[in-house]
């Protein structure tokens, strides 16, 4: 009887065992020593990652389960999901292999850069899990940038890289603005709240539209009287537009706050990716 057995880890391939005595010896050997023989071929994993053979990559990692320490497998899975952008699974395996993952500076930096622009909830989970002192200056810089995005008013912009300072200053300015102040300004002078939010064009459009509505309402009241249906219709239109402009200004400030934050983080990600970006493997 010829029996072919392939052990993947060490690359030694086919054993042909003919005699019953050797077969027994081989099986006993496999039973006790095979788990120890399973080693991850990292250069092969790197190759699979570089060529983007996701199917083979996943199969290889899955095949190593049970053969290699669980920590190593979880670490490889975390890197796999980081490469193929599955944030929740990445975090799941990252927490299972945290110490090992943090010790891989390339992957750790890549993950930090990656999460700068990810979904807010997962982003929070990630940055809360990052140890305060990692020993990596790159990670510390990225974390400072993330902290600046969370607490802009408490952060001094000069600690950020020069390339990001103008974006941060814009973001910081927008964060100090209050939606209710925009609403109050728009109530006083139609469209002024939009100017306060930083939307000049919108201010001009709103102001002149409101002015036109006002003049046509005034004309109809003057010539037809306030109780005339057309005057009531004109005044109603004016009122609706006036209220909409107040609400729009309130919403604009909130929108601008979000937009400047997103823009700041996108630019930060681009900057760090360009300066600190290294291959995952």
Partner 1 sequence: MLKNIIILISALLCTEKVFSQNEFSQHLLMLEEKAFLCTSDTLRNDFYLQKFDLYVQHNKPTNEAMLEARRIDYHLFRDTASMIRFLWNASVTSQLTNSVNPAAHYYSSYQEINPDSSVEAYLLGSLIYMDFDSAVARSFVNRLVIKDKSFACVSCLQEVANYSRKHKGLYLISSALVPGLGSALNGNVLKGTTSLLINSLAVYAVYVLIQSNLYFNAFFWGGAFLTKFYIGNIKLTGSLFDQKEERKKNKLATNCELMLSGVLKQHPIFYR
> Which positions lie near partner 1, rule CB under 8 A?
3-8, 11, 23-24, 27-28, 30-31, 44, 47-48, 51-56, 58-60, 63, 212, 215-216, 219-220, 223-224, 230, 234
Q: CB of residue 96 vs partner 1: minimum separation in angstroms?
A: 23
CB of 207 to partner 1, least distance (A): 16
Q: Closest distance between partner 1 and the C-beta of residue 161, in Å?
A: 37
Could you tell me the smallest distance in angstroms from the CB atom of residue 8 to partner 1?
7
Closest to partner 1 by CB, 22 or 274: 22
For partner 1, which is the closer residue by CB, 175 or 216?
216
Angle between helices 200-224 and 229-276 (to 10 degrees): 180
Query: Cβ closer to partner 1: 63 or 251?
Result: 63
227 burial type by CB count under 10 A (0-12 exposed, 13-18 middle, 19+ buried): exposed
The residue among 217 and 269 lying less far from partner 1, judged by its C-beta, is: 217
Q: Which is nearer to partner 1, 17 or 184 (CB)?
A: 17
Min separation Cβ 182 and partner 1, Å: 26
């Amino acid at each position: 009887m010829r029996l072919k057995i392939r052990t993947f880890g060490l690359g030694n391939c086919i054993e042909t065992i003919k005699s019953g005595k050797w077969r027994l010896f081989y099986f006993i050997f496999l039973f006790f020593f095979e788990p120890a023989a399973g080693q991850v071929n990292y250069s092969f994993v790197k190759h699979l990652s570089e060529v983007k053979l996701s199917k083979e990559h996943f199969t290889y990692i899955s095949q190593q389960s049970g053969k290699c320490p669980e920590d190593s497998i979880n670490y490889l899975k975390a890197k796999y999901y980081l490469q193929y952008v599955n944030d929740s699974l990445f975090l799941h395996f990252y927490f299972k292999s945290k110490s090992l993952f943090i010790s891989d500076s390339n992957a750790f930096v890549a993950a930090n850069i990656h999460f700068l622009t990810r979904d807010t909830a997962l982003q929070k989970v990630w940055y809360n899990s990052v140890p305060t002192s990692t020993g990596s200056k790159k990670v510390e810089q990225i974390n400072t940038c993330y902290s600046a995005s969370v607490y802009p008013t408490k952060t001094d912009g000069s600690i950020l890289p020069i390339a990001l300072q103008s974006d941060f200053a814009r973001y910081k300015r927008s964060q100090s603005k209050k939606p209710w102040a925009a609403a109050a300004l728009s109530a006083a002078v139609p469209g002024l709240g939009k100017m306060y939010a930083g939307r000049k064009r919108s201010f001009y459009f709103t102001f002149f539209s409101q002015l036109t509505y006002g003049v046509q309402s005034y004309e109809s009241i003057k010539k037809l009287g306030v109780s005339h249906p057309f005057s009531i219709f004109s005044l109603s239109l004016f009122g609706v537009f006036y209220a909409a402009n107040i609400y729009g200004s309130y919403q604009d400030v909130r929108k601008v706050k979000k937009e400047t934050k997103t823009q700041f983080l996108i630019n930060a990600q681009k900057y760090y990716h360009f300066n600190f970006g290294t291959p995952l493997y």
